Every structure is written in structure tokens, then in C-alpha cells.
Structure 1
Amino acid sequence: MRYILAHDLGTSGNKATLFSEDGRLIKSEVFSYDAHYFNDTWVEQNADDWWNAVCRTSSSLIQSTGVDPGEIGAISFSGQMMGCLCVDRNGTPLRPSIIWADQRAQKQVAQIEEHISQQDFYHIVGHRNTASYGIQKLMWVRDNEPEIYEQTYKTLNAKDYIVFKLTGKFYTEPSDANSVACFDLKTFQWSEEILKITGIDPDKLPQIKPSTFVAGGVTKEAARATGLAEGTPVVMGGGDGVVANIGCGSISPGKTYCCMGTSAWITTTAEKPIFDEQMRTVTWAHVIPGMYAPNGTMQYAGGAYNWLKNTVCSMESYKAKEEGTSPYTYMNEQIEKSTVGANELIFLPYLLGERAPRWNPDAKGAWIGIKPETTRGDLLRSVLEGVTMNLSICLDILRTQMDIKEITVVGGGAKGAVWRQIMADIYNARIKVPSLLEEGSSMGAAVIGGVGTGIFKDFTAIDRFINIESVHTPNSGAVEAYGSVKEAFETCYFALEDAFKKMARHL
């Protein structure tokens, strides 16, 4: 029996998961690390914390499972995207990594806008020019820490740094290269036009290899640090949001998944980018060579429901604590008593501003339509409907170029049957629920590792990992009713757009 070790390098920690080649999850280990928030919009992490987490979890998994390290046939990765870690020729970090959540590079965004429009930028890289991406962060380093920039040999994302630590090689792959935002979706190489505009030295960017590329074998030094066998193949893997496509079965055109976590997104697989005239959605380079992953991501989805629990549902939380159960159980009971459309109550889920489809940092959360007869259940149901309505706008954009009839749903928001049925009715799609709701990125990384090393013939190997536990079908009456609710939802947002802008300036 051969095994595959998948490392999922997130913002709060690294999860190492050991899978057997027949798709069984053997065991997972999580090791946490900190993100450092300061100066309002700055967020950094220590790259050595990532490496320490990989060493600790790898060693712990091997010891606790008793698996012979020599039977691990591949190591692969899913990692946080849109970062900027500057390293010297020896791979030593020159400063902490500026991670995806950091927004300091606003002046650099403006510098780029002086030379290229948002539309033209979007049609090259599939994304808007914003401070979230890697190239803008590297420009900030150049402009504010020139001594660091001069010493920089390569800039890496999280999993690329771990690949280096294991193999001594500097590489990236298309999904993470795309998150640097100077990647040409047509050529799958660094964009000469964007690099010329930014003035960034292209030699400071790593060579792009396929996600399935074997970067090398585990070195003797790395083997000592991790407990892995020297020479174990290390496969590139990809950025977490795209790797999850594989883990959720989105491996061919039209296969679509929705991750309903604190933030949420809908992503599909396509043979070409999906460019929206209003730039409401983005397109990622897929981890499947030559494919694309069009996507719409919202800021606060499950987060809005959690906010509801913590602020409005203290009674349910108290009762749950007394009885040793979940507050969501009592919340869902009340939601079921409400009706489609939450008794004509609209909730705008923009508690942290919004990415797709609004791209409006000034947007706010709002209830619209409260009446004397509005019930607690209506308030609760409207939040689930508002989040799902917002994601459905992204889905409608994807549907302009492909037929999407079923969606695999993962993440914490997929745990509740009530919300899953609301999704089926608003999306007008069959909702498929796998038994493992939190393992999409890990399973995707494992399959990439297996394909890269020849353990698996192709990406259809994910079928042996996924077990669909339940399916929700849309109710035709609810689908029809939600059509008018969505129109009201859109009207409410645009009616308040100017108000949000004035609030941001004057309050």
C-alpha cells in the first residue's frame, strides 16, 4: 500500500493529511501559527512558522500512524495564495511574508492604473488590479524597502517556500502564479506587458511548472527535520482555492462547487476564461494543466450567519450550552417556520464590504422590509437567503457560458440541511453533499500528488475519495418564487449604493 501526504497551508495553521492510494483518509494533524495584524491593513506571517508546522505535522503523522516513511509515494500541497515572500539565493526569508489579507499596496495599484485600464488588466490576468495580489505587494517592497528588494532572489507563495525547503528548488505553478497578478492567462507564463508596467525584475519571479510537476526529492536535511524518507517525490500542488476544485470533483467543464465557509465562493472548471463585462467574477488558472477555474468569491458568508448567532441568537446559544448541543439546531428550527422569501424580508450580507459581485468596500449589511409581523424565523432565514442570493449572482455569470445543473457544496455552511435546501432552490441546481465537508483542499492536493508521481492515471482518481452523502433537489415552486426575491435583492442593493458611499465618508 502506498500513501500520499497532503499539506494544506492556511492562514491560521497547517493541516497535514495522510491518504492511502485507494482514497481513505488515514489521519490528519493540525499545527497552528499566527498572523500578525498591524497598521490597520497590514498582515504578515513568519515563513519559518510554516516550515515548523510542516515538520511537526509530518513527523507526528508518521509516528502516530506507524506508516513506514518509505511507503509515502508523494508529498503535495494546497496553500494560501496572493502572498509575497522575498528570499535570497539561499532561500532565506529577507522579511516576513506579506499575505493575501494585506492591503498596504494602494499606491502601487494607482501606479499600475496610470498605464493600463482595469478592463485591460482584467483581460490579461483574469483579475482586477487590487492590493490583494502579489505583484502589487512586491512593488511596495521595492518602493519602501529597496534594500530588501535588491537582495531578493525570488518571491514565493507559501507552498512554494515549503517546496524549496524540501527540495532546494525554486518553482511555482499556474494557480499561484496567477495569484501574483502578472500571469498571462493565454500563454500560462509571466506577462511581459504587466511586468514592464510594474517595473518588476522578472528574474525575481520563480519558474512556472505544472501543478503536477515533481519539483524534486526530499533532501537529506529536510528528511531529518520532517521524518520523511530522503528522496520522497515532492509535487508542486497549487493554491488552496483552486486545489479544492479537484477535491470537490470539479475536474471537467461545468463541474461546479461551492465552498460555504466564513467567506464563500462558487467555482467551476472551464476550457477558457470567463470574462464578465462588469468584471464581477474572476478567472484562475486551474491546477489541471491548460484548464481554467472561473470564480466568484464573497467576503462574509458563513461569517454573517455566525454574526447572527453571536448577536441576535443569545437565547439559542444559552439553550444549546445548557443542553450540550449546537445553537444552529434551534436557529434552523425557527428558519423552517419561515417561508420562501422570509416574509418579504431582504438581508444584504455585506458586513465586511464585498468582493464578487459588488467589488464595493463601502457596502454594509442591512435588513430591508421589517414589518410588525416579521418573526425571529424571518430574520434568521433572510440571512441565509441573502448570502445565497449574492452567490447566485456569481453563478448566473458562470452560467452565461456553461450549463450548470448540479453543485457540490462543502464547508461549515454545508452542515445544515435547511441551508442546503435554500441553496438548491435559489441556485436551481441539485446540491450534492460529500461526507467530508472540510477536506476539499487536502483531497485535491493528494490527487495532484498521485497524478504527478504516476500513482493515479488522471484526475478522475478523485472519485475514489469522494463519497456523496446526500442530494437536495430544487423545489419548482420555490425556484419560481425566488426569481422575484432576487430582483428585489438586486434593487435593494443598488438603491443603497450611494448611501453606503456617504456613510463611509461621513460617519
Structure 2
Amino acid sequence: MLDEREAWLGIDLGTQSVRALLVTADGTILGRGSAPLTSRREGNRHEQDPGEWWDRVCTATRQALQGPHHARIGGLAVCGTSGTVLLTDTLGRPMSPALMYDDGRASDEAAQARAAGLRVQNTWALPKALWLMEEYDRPAPTPRTHRPHLHLVRATPFRLAHQPDVIVARLTGEVPPTDSSHALKTGYDLEHGTWPYGPLAQLGLPDGLLPNVVRPGTPLGEVTPEAAEATGIPARTPVVAGMTDGCAAQIASAALRPGSWNSVLGTTLVLKGAATTPVHDPTGVVYNHRAPDGSWLPGGASSVGAGVLTAAFAGADPATMDTRAASYEPSGAVTYPLLSPGERFPFHAPTASALLLGETDNDADLWAALLQGVAFAERLCLDYLDHLGAPLDGPLTFTGGATRSEYWNQLRTDILAREAHVPEQTDPALGMAALAAHGTGAGPLPELAERMVHITTTLTPDPHRTALFAEPYTRLIDELTTRGWLPPPVAAHAHARLSRDTET
């Protein structure tokens, strides 16, 4: 039986900030904290200073734990951005910048990995690991293009780490194994539970670089007295293995029963679902995480997202712009609003760029076009999942920062032509609190999540508005197909689903 006096701490290492939540078994938020993070962007490069993560974690957890909550902290878990990696020394201390989830500098290395038989995308962690080793662990000062391949028998002073590993090492005082959720984009084979050492040897990754891997929710250690003093977290608090931020948000939506889906709309768009078996995609666009109970969490991450609004309208008030945008349904232009070059889901197109079909009358019309364009991309993601045979018959939940916009929530619901639910608390840190409870023996994760997550809004699609947006969505599908980005069979399936959803 759960002890209602217990609470669990979730820590989310996001793109723009660190967030921490202290949550009870019934979902009551006892404390919250946050601290901003800074990034360095240059062209297709995106880095963060991993030393800043620890400083911001200390700030966020101290904020979350201040005040008279009178709860015993039963455990904690940490999530991070998927595909973010760095090099550390053997004690877990950072030895390189962190190459972030959307850093695209390792396209050549990605091609090498694919040639070795590994299904990876350009921004995944494995290509970036290869790039980091070429930069920091050079066996000789020869040009990169002529450097001989290394073998997996050579030792290295470096260790590859994912974002949460750095924080867990500081919390527990030990270099931890990584969780299988973060290891996925580094090439870890979830179905067989092992690193693909043969192909990795062909790529020249040295012995000792890759961490051991455990399932999410596995106990990793306890908070040390030194870490307790820095963070405010009581010493000996259990630390369990976390998951990626997309999976954390999925837990925070309670979308863990087969057929359920969570659409996370933040800086970028991520869709995560639940299934009893993996969803196989020969293109590698859709990949499968593994849940703590051994079931599967298929999904994908797009380069489209709410970040385009910030990029195009720095300093604008979103509520005011939403009100003005409501007069442009549909917009005079159709967009596919990529935040950075290349698309990874719902299609693989490394050369894709943001597109704008038609002209907008003013900034309100452009804002409307961007809102609608993101929703079109979201619909195309679901069309593609349906094309692959993924189960879509469960509830759909919206989470992410974009859910603060009631107008956009309804617009997305209408364009998707399906009911959607919005939880009261959409922070991935809530998902980590639920995972911490599971990892410390409080119960099965789906039941814990359903108890902690409070659905406050249910949105119903308006068929007339679904039909209103059918023509611009059709134009977008056709343009993506003409440009060679969207495979014709996927386009045909999207057209068929649209016809079904707009039948009168």
C-alpha cells in the first residue's frame, strides 16, 4: 500500500531549463523549481556546457524542496533530451561539450554507421559519439579523412555519457550505467538487450567507451551527503534510472496502455505511443523504446515544433497572436515549419528545409500559418503511424509547453479529427516522479501514472473545421511528395485517411 506521506522527485533536463517536481502518490505537487539553461548554436551545431547542468539542478531541486511539505522523499529519477551525448573521464567528469539532441554535425559519421548496418539518423547519439572520438581521442595527428579505423580492442580514457548520467554520477558519487531509453539512439539493441559490438567495431569505437545499460526504473544508488548539501535532497534518497524527456512526458500523460498516444509539442514535436509489440519501420523513422515492464513505446521526433514561433516572433505575446490568428482559418499560406534543416519524422529527408506555399497578409496570418503547419505535421505523423500498422485506437493526450495555448489545442484537435486530452500538469518531471515511485517498489508504472496524472480538459473535434483545413493539408501532402521527401505510398495513405475523416 502506498504511503500518502511519501513523495517522489522528478528532474527534467530540458533544452531551455532544468525543472524539478516533488509529487505525492495522488499527483499533488508539493514543490516545484526551475533554472534556465543556455545553449550555443552555430549553423547545424548545438552545444551545452554539461557543468551548467549540475549547477541548475542544484538550484531547481532546492526550490522544489523548500517549504513545509513534511513528506519523506521516496526516490528520484532524471530524464534528459534524447540523443544528447558527451565524453567523460573514468570518474564521470565531463571532458567535452554536450552535443545536443538536434546537433547535425555528424552526418558523415551517420552515413558510416548506416553503411555498417546500423539504422540511425544524422542527429542520433551514435554518429555524434563517433565525431567526438575523432575530435578528442585521436591516435595520431593525421587528417580525419585519412585516419585509419580503430578496433574495439583499444582502450580509451574516455567514457560516453548521456545527459542524465552526468547528474546521477554527481548525486550518487559513482559512474552509473545508462538507461536503455537513452542508449537507444546510441545504437543499443533493445530487442536483444545488448550493444551491437560487431558493427561498432567496424566503426572503430574503442573498448571501454560504452556504458553498461539497465532498464528504466532500475535502482542506481543513493544521494551522497555531499550531493545532499548541494541540492537539498536528503542523503540516502534512492536514485533510479530514468528515461528520455519524450518518454518522461509520455508517462506524465499516462499514455502507457496499448493504443494510447501522447503528442508532446514543445520546441519540437514528439509522438510516443504504447504497444505490446514493436512497430517495425524499414526506414527507421519510427523507433521503439522499451517500457520498464518490457512492453514497447513506439514513436518518433520531428524537427517541426513550437520553437518556430519563438524564432519568427521573438518577444511576441502568444495569447494576443492566437486571438489575431483566429481570423485566418485557413491561412493564406501553407507551411511545413521546420525549426532546423532536415526532417526525421514523419519522413526521413536530411535535405528538407522549411517551406512556405503562398503568401501571408500580415504577421497574424503568418502566425496562423505556423500554428496550422505544425498541426498538419502532427496529423501526418499519425497518418504515417497508421500506415505502419501502429495501434491508434486508444486515447490521445497533449503535453508540452504548447498546451498553454487553448486556441492551438482546439486547432490541433480539429485538424487531427480526433478527441484529445490535456492533463493538469504536463511537465516531464512528473513522469520521472512516477518512474521513481515505480523503481522504489510503489507499484506498476501504468497504475501509478494514472493515479498521479489528472486530466482536466477533453477536446472534441469539430467536423466542419476538420473539413475547412482539408484543402491546405492536401496541398502540403502533394508538395512534400513532389519534392521527394514524402514517399508516395505514405501520401496515398494520408489522402485516404483524410477522405475518411471528412466524409459527411
Fold shared, TM-score > 0.5 on shorter chain? yes
Q: Would you say the 8 A contact 1:255–1:407 is kept in 2?
A: yes
Distance 1:191-1:464 versus aligned 2 partners, 3 A rule: same
Give the whole-Å Cα distance in 2 for the aligned partners of 1:415 and 1:285.
27
Distance 1:152-1:137 versus aligned 2 partners, 3 A rule: farther
Distance 1:349-1:450 versus aligned 2 partners, 3 A rule: same
Q: Which amino acid aligns with 1:403?
A: L
Q: Which amino acid aligns with 1:179?
A: K
Per the alignment, residue 332 of structure 1 pairs with 322
Per the alignment, residue 297 of structure 2 pairs with 293
Look up the SS of the partner of 1:189 in the other structure.
Answer: coil
Per the alignment, residue 273 of structure 2 pairs with 268
Look up the SS of the partner of 2:235 in the other structure.
Answer: coil
Q: Which amino acid aligns with 1:349?
A: P
Q: Which amino acid aligns with 2:454?
A: N
Q: CA offset at residue 447 of structure 1?
A: 0.5
Distance 1:103-1:462 versus aligned 2 partners, 3 A rule: same
Q: Would you say the 8 A contact 2:413–2:460 is kept in 1?
A: yes
Q: CA offset at residue 369 of structure 1?
A: 4.1
Distance 1:176-1:495 versus aligned 2 partners, 3 A rule: same
Give the whole-Å Cα distance in 1 for the aligned partners of 2:463 and 2:248.
33
Q: Does 1:454 align with 2:441?
A: yes
**Match 1:3 to one of 4, 7, 12:** 7
Distance 1:197-1:391 versus aligned 2 partners, 3 A rule: farther
Per the alignment, residue 87 of structure 2 pairs with 86
Q: Would you say the 8 A contact 1:253–1:269 is kept in 2?
A: yes
Q: Does 1:49 align with 2:52?
A: yes
* Deviation larger for 208-217 or 327-336: 327-336
Per the alignment, residue 184 of structure 2 pairs with 178
Per the alignment, residue 414 of structure 1 pairs with 403
Q: CA offset at residue 176 of structure 1?
A: 0.6
Per the alignment, residue 130 of structure 2 pairs with 139
Give the whole-Å Cα distance in 1 for the aligned partners of 2:218 and 2:49.
26
1:111-165 deviations in Å (ceiling 9; x for gaps): 324433xxxx33xxxxx342x2222222223323226995435311111122222
Q: Which amino acid aligns with 1:239?
A: T
* Deviation larger for 230-239 or 467-476: 467-476
Q: Would you say the 8 A contact 1:243–1:287 is kept in 2?
A: no
Give the whole-Å Cα distance in 2 for the aligned partners of 1:430 and 1:78.
28
Q: CA offset at residue 443 of structure 1?
A: 0.9
Q: CA offset at residue 202 of structure 1?
A: 5.2
Q: Does 1:473 align with 2:460?
A: yes
Q: Would you say the 8 A contact 1:351–1:363 is kept in 2?
A: no
Unaligned runs of 5+ in 1: 123-127, 318-326, 499-507
Q: Which amino acid aligns with 1:275?
A: H
1:382-416 deviations in Å (ceiling 9; x for gaps): 33222111121111122232133531112232233
Q: Would you say the 8 A contact 1:447–1:456 is kept in 2?
A: no
Give the whole-Å Cα distance in 2 for the aligned partners of 1:260 and 1:289.
26
Q: CA offset at residue 225 of structure 1?
A: 3.0
Unaligned runs of 5+ in 2: 140-153, 486-504
Q: CA offset at residue 83 of structure 1?
A: 2.6
Per the alignment, residue 464 of structure 1 pairs with 451
Give the whole-Å Cα distance in 1 for the aligned partners of 2:189 and 2:302.
24
Alignment of 1:183-332 (within 5 A): 183-201=188-206, 203-279=208-284, 281-307=285-311, 309-310=313-314, 327-332=317-322
1:437-482 deviations in Å (ceiling 9; x for gaps): 4x1x111100000011123443311223222222121223333454
**Match 1:18 to one of 4, 17, 22:** 22
Q: Which amino acid aligns with 1:424?
A: T
Give the whole-Å Cα distance in 2 for the aligned partners of 1:487 and 1:152.
54
Q: Would you say the 8 A contact 2:10–2:432 is kept in 1?
A: yes
Q: CA offset at residue 255 of structure 1?
A: 0.9
Q: Would you say the 8 A contact 2:259–2:391 is kept in 1?
A: yes
Q: Would you say the 8 A contact 1:258–1:265 is kept in 2?
A: yes
Q: CA offset at residue 364 of structure 1?
A: 3.5
Q: Does 1:428 align with 2:417?
A: yes
Distance 1:388-1:4 versus aligned 2 partners, 3 A rule: same
Give the whole-Å Cα distance in 1 for the aligned partners of 2:244 and 2:275.
17
Give the whole-Å Cα distance in 2 for the aligned partners of 1:215 and 1:8.
17
Look up the SS of the partner of 1:89 in the other structure.
Answer: coil
Look up the SS of the partner of 1:228 in the other structure.
Answer: coil
Q: CA offset at residue 376 of structure 1?
A: 7.3
Look up the SS of the partner of 1:31 in the other structure.
Answer: strand
Per the alignment, residue 322 of structure 1 pairs with none
**Match 1:487 to one of 456, 470, 474:** 474
1:56-112 deviations in Å (ceiling 9; x for gaps): 3333433x224568x211011111231333222322333333332333323322332
Look up the SS of the partner of 2:385 in the other structure.
Answer: helix
Q: CA offset at residue 332 of structure 1?
A: 3.1
Look up the SS of the partner of 2:415 in the other structure.
Answer: helix
Q: Would you say the 8 A contact 1:31–1:56 is kept in 2?
A: yes
Report the aligned-residue RMSD. Answer: 2.8
Q: Would you say the 8 A contact 2:250–2:262 is kept in 1?
A: yes
Look up the SS of the partner of 2:326 in the other structure.
Answer: helix
TM-score, normalisation: structure 2: 0.83
Give the whole-Å Cα distance in 1 for the aligned partners of 2:364 and 2:251.
37
Q: CA offset at residue 308 of structure 1?
A: 5.2
Per the alignment, residue 505 of structure 1 pairs with none
Q: Which amino acid aligns with 2:84?
A: G
Per the alignment, residue 372 of structure 2 pairs with 385
Identity across matched positions, percent: 24
Give the whole-Å Cα distance in 1 for the aligned partners of 2:419 and 2:367.
23
Q: Which amino acid aligns with 1:328?
A: P
Per the alignment, residue 338 of structure 2 pairs with 350
Distance 1:202-1:23 versus aligned 2 partners, 3 A rule: farther
Distance 1:478-1:54 versus aligned 2 partners, 3 A rule: closer
Distance 1:471-1:453 versus aligned 2 partners, 3 A rule: same
Look up the SS of the partner of 2:229 in the other structure.
Answer: helix
Give the whole-Å Cα distance in 2 for the aligned partners of 1:191 and 1:30.
38
Q: Would you say the 8 A contact 2:219–2:241 is kept in 1?
A: yes
Q: CA offset at residue 290 of structure 1?
A: 1.8
Q: Which amino acid aligns with 1:427?
A: L
